[in-house]
Amino acid sequence: MSNTVLHATDADFDAQVLASDVPVLVDFWAPWCGPCKMIAPALDQLAADYAGKAKVVKVDVDQNQATAMKYHVRSIPMLLVFKGGQIHSQQIGAVGKAQLAQMLDKAL
């Protein structure tokens, strides 16, 4: 399994996230979003820390509006943890690495 942040699109979201056999932290973001850029390094670290146990996937809301609409993304960054194809927890707004790790830990 990759120890880097993955990128999902409308086309492969179900395969990458919903069908995953490990929990997935999904970051709904956009290139113009300041707080999204702020949490990017934490997401990179989490992807490495949780390699093999969980995945970190980013979805660009500008490029993948169908997925963003499906999950009612109204403000970004919005982070959802999926487990077994279901939303396990969510966080709206930028938070620190520790808080994101806690979300993943609860899903493991």
8 Å CB contact between 59 and 26: yes
37 is catalytic: no
pLDDT (0 to 100) of residue 44: 96
pLDDT band at 78; cut points 50, 70, 90: very high
Domain around 43? 6-107
Residue labelled with tokens 């395969």: 15
Question: Is 1 inside a domain boundary?
Answer: no
- pTM value? 0.96
Number of domains in the chain: 1
- Tens-digit pLDDT profile for residues 85-94: 999 999 999 9
Between the alpha carbon of residue 83 and those of residues 3, 24, 61, the distances in Å are: 19, 7, 21
Question: Is 60 inside a domain boundary?
Answer: yes
Question: Is 57 inside a domain boundary?
Answer: yes
Return the CATH number at 46.
3.40.30.10
33 is catalytic: yes
- Tens-digit pLDDT profile for residues 3-41: 689 999 999 999 999 999 999 999 999 999 999 999 999
Residue among 5, 8, 33, 42 flagged as catalytic: 33
